[in-house]
Structure 1
Amino acid sequence: MNQLIYHITSLAEWDYAQSIGVYQPKGFVIEQFIHCSYLDQLLTVADHFFRGQNSLVILVVEPSKIDSDLVEENLEGGTELYPHLYGLLPCTAVKKALAFPCNADGSFTLPEELKV
């Protein structure tokens, strides 16, 4: 898996991760993996799980810098596959963190940097 993957999180969680060198989302202890997306899945995920939330960032992740298992799967029974990271995310694998504010109606628009 060589293409970049993406993860949406709060700015506070990302700031904390940077202070310790590794990112672990709140639900990791229960789920044991980190939900990620490909670029074309980002807006669907954002609108479904983060609608109306502010102070978010998109982590742009370089899979080649991850030692843990990265598995493409759909755990909800659908056919679209999402990358799931079965381990913690080292901050060194994050190429950049992009501000991801919601629009006035609560929906999201990709940051200019990610538009193709």
Structure 2
Amino acid sequence: MSPTAYKILTRGEWQSLNAEGTFAGAPVDLADGYIHLSAPDQVAETAAKHFAGRDDLVLAEVDLTKLEGVKWEPSRGGQLFPHVYGALPFSAVIRAQALWVTGDGGMEIVSSLEVKS
């Protein structure tokens, strides 16, 4: 299992995480009872499947070793995905990039964002 994973956030969710220091989850996370993350080899498929055509996104790289409550569980196609049972603290974010997901699902990094430790 990878020691890092990715969370795709809207700009508003990113701003909230920055301001509050923690993220309880997007609506889908709250409905499912855990925060959905993607391993490095899964993030492109996640972006294409759930965020195609969006240009208001942030790709946050998360250090899983700084989190409690991470479980790798089967999801899409039986793949194991990292799920966080609890809030995502800003202190676990090691890198963030503004992200555009094209209409056909391709990911384009727009710029790096500041992550203060």
Structures share a fold, TM > 0.5?
yes
Runs of 4+ off more than 6 Å: none
- Give the corresponding residue for 2:8: 8
CA 102–91 in structure 1, closer or farther in 2 if over 3 Å, else same: same
1:82 is the counterpart of 2:81: yes
Separation in structure 1 between the aligned mates of residue 93 and residue 107 of structure 2, nearest angstrom = 21
Separation in structure 1 between the aligned mates of residue 110 and residue 53 of structure 2, nearest angstrom = 20
Structure 1, unmatched stretches of 5+, are none
TM-score by length of 1: 0.83
Aligned residues: 110
Separation in structure 1 between the aligned mates of residue 52 and residue 108 of structure 2, nearest angstrom = 14
Deviation (angstroms), 1:108: 2.2
Identity %: 28
* 1:19 partner amino acid: A
Which structure shows the bigger proportion of residues in strand conformation?
A: 2
1:45 is the counterpart of 2:46: yes
Separation in structure 2 between the aligned mates of residue 70 and residue 45 of structure 1, nearest angstrom = 18
Aligned pairs for 1:18-29 (under 5 A) are 18-27=18-27, 28-29=29-30
Separation in structure 1 between the aligned mates of residue 61 and residue 47 of structure 2, nearest angstrom = 15
- Give the corresponding residue for 2:105: 107
Deviation (angstroms), 1:106: 4.2
Deviation (angstroms), 1:19: 0.6
